Chains A and B, each alone.
Chain A
């Protein structure tokens, strides 16, 4: 993709990581309709979902954007590198919703699409060529109520992906809310009853069975927004972490036999350091401190910091937001989508956060009608996004220049190498704005330099030929010259979003890795030979050295 503009020089020191907004020449111009109006409907300020996935199996990544307003969803196929075409109608993907999840639910080798909504959810099965059929009813997938994010997992290890659907609140459009001396505004979650989440067990690739009650997850009814599923304590069982809006977060630990127990309080991930439940929105997960376990990062409301939960493997977590200096940058912003990703390919995980207020800000940041101004309705809500670069365990705010200073109502955020050049780009969904594609210039900068590159990379794909799909949940330890690194085959879920399950590893100056150790979702452990940098490596179950 050609840059839309020269990277802007920020007011502070030139950062090591630079992105440029290439949306204008990508062919994506659809404004994601929120459906907001003078009644301040709450779904309009919470939506804005996104999936980045190879829908048609041609090897490049396509986009599906999800809008709260009727008929607002759009599906874009990538053809030439970086150029997209609207294929919504041809693909059968019209509609509306909140968010989505992507995975091969029927093990036929292509990626299917689950769309969460304020109302019955929808399941679209892929024919392998990027044409989808709505099989919501046949699969018993039409989960009622306000669903938000969804995560794929194979909790019973039968080879078929199950689905955890986080649900939000029992929204009542008649409820009137206000602040700032009585000015009408969007309601918050505490105005309504929370909804219990839903666990759908995959019946051999032919449909779902709602096993929520038997799994024990109906024991609570909280305002769920973000969800990730992974084995946080390395006990071989997949766990589920749910970010709840104003309610304590849940850490559903699998007890075996399909039963889950919420152990978030005792494991230190339900409340922040202060013992407070926060307005949990999006979740990033990754090994941010390079100690070979998965940490958590949860985004929150203005006046709350985003929170970094460091995995101590006691089992349990500690709120290490202060130690990592992740608090100050977020205190004045409302965070939604987020992801740990190695933005500069230096071997550690950085962070991006999509922001946008849900109530009028105490002080508006946008100039109505100004350059890059959000729509007038949102002028008191618009906020900039954040890029936070990992510097030996402390995160520095690297958002002082465009595109990070631009204002909008951002929600879902997905890192993915859209142009396949070896660094991770970002796609961000914006309410009443076009989805923004931020191209990562790390590789370009290296190529333009006479110096040896310090931004080598690997993409690691864990493939299970028995299932004809990527092994979601596989844990991969990569031996690099700089020490071991932990990867997971997990679609980045964050907030209302889905992305590729293929893991990305920055290698810095290292030109190869020594080996890969894989713990497959069924518990099998295999080792694979190392590989040279700057390629996609596929680790095939059963083909270890």
Chain B
């Protein structure tokens, strides 16, 4: 327990633990575990709920009623802790898990969830609860890995190493166990062992950025900066959130009922390509709070990916109504409307998107396409020139611009305007050369022909 924690009084703490800091809470939990004095129903930890969403209030009230009816039910206390934790009421959740552990001493998940929550504030204080959990189920590898990580955080590297190794034996596919072994090897200066373990972790969880960047660093330490740089560059495309295969901990977060939690869960499903599950979460979130534009927009994206353009368009329109400047909505709608053939609508949304972000080349291309479709050559050329001056870097947009400039150039040749056409080919060639594109050679030849 740190001095900083132990010295602080917490008058804002829940009624169950009046004026207590974490150290006091942990001490009290221990006291509870060592005594048999029953707690009364009035001592149910109740978080501050002003401003909380109705669904959350109702769920907590319901669970509190269950506890008042059956205060000796350890599993009810634990379930209450899970719902509290799911909504980040951490102190109250710690208290509830502690009570659940006391009343149901044979249940693995209550000391495990208690340990994991305390671990967020003090790894040293979490160790005893990890040990208690592992005494009940020594074979749950995710718990053993978390225990090892807590040992590592407290500087007990040898013990951590043993626990990681044990976890890897229990579950050879547990990437976090192999990563822990690699991390300890890297810190000990054994780059070769670090590369071996971290490579295994990365093979098991290719989407995990943390494993990749640590592996890149291990290669750099070993003197192979080139290989390290390759891995680091590839890791840039990975998300910052690393998911763990830990069904017990995941089941906590599934209980969150506030609108943003639905969005968070939906995004997790999207990462794994689970579009039906993502859609279900988003619809449930909208049922909770239909005023959140980000939920509607996420639903629009999911429906588009799932092949429901009409539903997608409706959801995007709703998001735009709620927050016209929500990032990405206007371009999304512009593209969607263009695909449905609503050129006027697409043009209006593209112009709206450009008002919000004047450098969005993809929207310039859309305006150019619609203008060309309508025979508005002057506007087409003008907007393509603007796009050219932006020098787009992402390949699809750049390639699209090169193609459009080329098409306009050909149209100008057909119309007997070789000088104007040469200007378009010149711009296309500039972009192709800058990108090192193989199209550059063809464009160079075409430009020479047009000039002749």
Contacts and interface: CB of A to CB of B under 8 A. Distances in A.
B327 A193 contact: yes
Given A273-B187, A275-B209, A322-B153, A303 B120 contact: yes
A178 B289 CA distance: 12
B53 A323 contact: no
A182 B51 contact: yes
Contact of A267 (B5, B90, B220): B220
Contacts of B122: 328, 331-332
A325 B4 CA distance: 13
A397 interface: yes
Contacts of B9: 365, 367
B187 A181 contact: no
A246 interface: yes
B61 to A, nearest CB: 12
A366 B13 CA distance: 10
A379 B121 contact: no
Contacts of B344: none
A210 to B, nearest CB: 16
A363 B52 contact: no
A322 B7 contact: no
A181 B217 contact: no
B400 interface: no
Nearest to A405: B7
Contacts of B27: none
B53 A362 contact: no
Contacts of A364: 10-13
B330 to A, nearest CB: 13
A276 B258 CA distance: 27
B332 to A, nearest CB: 15
Interface stretch (B96-104, B225-233, B417-425): B225-233
A11 B9 CA distance: 13
Contacts of B153: 322, 327
Interface string B9-32: 111111000000110000000000
Nearest to B208: A275
A372 to B, nearest CB: 12
B240 A332 contact: no
B315 to A, nearest CB: 18
B3 A303 contact: no
A12 interface: yes
B49 A332 contact: no
B88 A180 contact: yes
B88 A333 contact: no
Interface string A419-452: 0000000000000000000000000000000000
Nearest to A318: B187
A270 B209 CA distance: 12
A176 interface: yes
A179 B256 CA distance: 11
Interface in B199-234: 209-214, 216-217, 220-221, 225, 228-229, 232
The binding surface of chain A is classed by DSSP as: loop
B91 A265 contact: no
Contacts of B121: 303, 331-332
Contacts of A366: 11-12
Contact of A322 (B152, B220, B257): B152
A193 B11 CA distance: 37
A367 B10 CA distance: 7
Contact of B52 (A10, A182, A362): A182
Contacts of A484: none
Nearest to A246: B240
B108 interface: no
Contact of A365 (B8, B179, B211, B216): B8
A191 B38 CA distance: 45
A274 B225 contact: no
A11 B3 CA distance: 9
A316 B225 CA distance: 12
B11 A183 contact: no
A405 B327 contact: no
B260 interface: yes
B3 A179 contact: no
B89 to A, nearest CB: 6
A270 B12 contact: no
A286 interface: no
Contacts of A318: 187
Given A174-B325, A266-B229, A397-B4, A316 B90 contact: no
Interface in A169-192: 170, 172, 174, 176-184, 190, 192
B120 to A, nearest CB: 5
Contacts of A174: 323, 325-326
A40 to B, nearest CB: 11
B2 interface: yes
B30 to A, nearest CB: 18
A368 B1 CA distance: 26
B210 A276 contact: yes
Contacts of A332: 2, 4-5, 22, 121-122
Contacts of B187: 273, 318
A308 to B, nearest CB: 13
B183 interface: yes
B217 A268 contact: yes
A438 B326 CA distance: 44
A11 B7 CA distance: 8
Interface string B299-327: 00000000000000000000000010111
A292 interface: no
Given A273-B187, A276-B210, A362-B91, A180 B229 contact: no
Interface in B224-280: 225, 228-229, 232, 235, 240, 242, 257-260
A363 B327 contact: no
A380 to B, nearest CB: 7
A370 interface: yes
A181 B220 contact: no
A327 B120 CA distance: 12
Contact of A180 (B21, B22, B52, B152): B52
A6 interface: no
**Most chain B beta carbons < 10 A, residue from A176, A183, A192, A276:** A183
B258 A178 contact: yes
Contacts of A248: 213
Contacts of B213: 248, 265, 270-271, 275
Interface in A282-319: 303, 314, 316, 318
B408 interface: no
B88 A179 contact: yes
Nearest to A275: B210
A365 B10 contact: yes
B210 A363 contact: no
A386 interface: yes
A202 to B, nearest CB: 27
Interface string B38-60: 00000000011111110011001
B3 A329 contact: yes
**Most chain B beta carbons < 10 A, residue from A266, A367, A368:** A266
Given A271-B217, A332-B4, A399-B3, 13 more contacts: A10-B7, A178-B259, A182-B56, A182-B259, A246-B240, A266-B216, A273-B183, A316-B220, A316-B221, A322-B154, A331-B122, A362-B90, A399-B7
19 contacts: A10-B7, A181-B57, A182-B260, A183-B49, A183-B51, A265-B228, A265-B232, A266-B232, A273-B187, A276-B242, A314-B221, A316-B217, A322-B154, A329-B4, A362-B89, A363-B12, A366-B11, A399-B3, A399-B7
Interface of B: 2-5, 7-14, 21-22, 47-53, 56-57, 60, 87-91, 120-124, 152-155, 179, 183, 187, 209-214, 216-217, 220-221, 225, 228-229, 232, 235, 240, 242, 257-260, 289, 292, 323, 325-327
Interface of A: 10-12, 170, 172, 174, 176-184, 190, 192-193, 246-248, 265-268, 270-271, 273-277, 303, 314, 316, 318, 322-323, 325, 327-329, 331-333, 362-368, 370, 379-380, 384, 386, 397, 399-400, 405
Smallest CB-CB A-B distances: 7 pairs: A364-B12, A275-B210, A182-B53, A362-B90, A181-B52, A181-B56, A367-B11
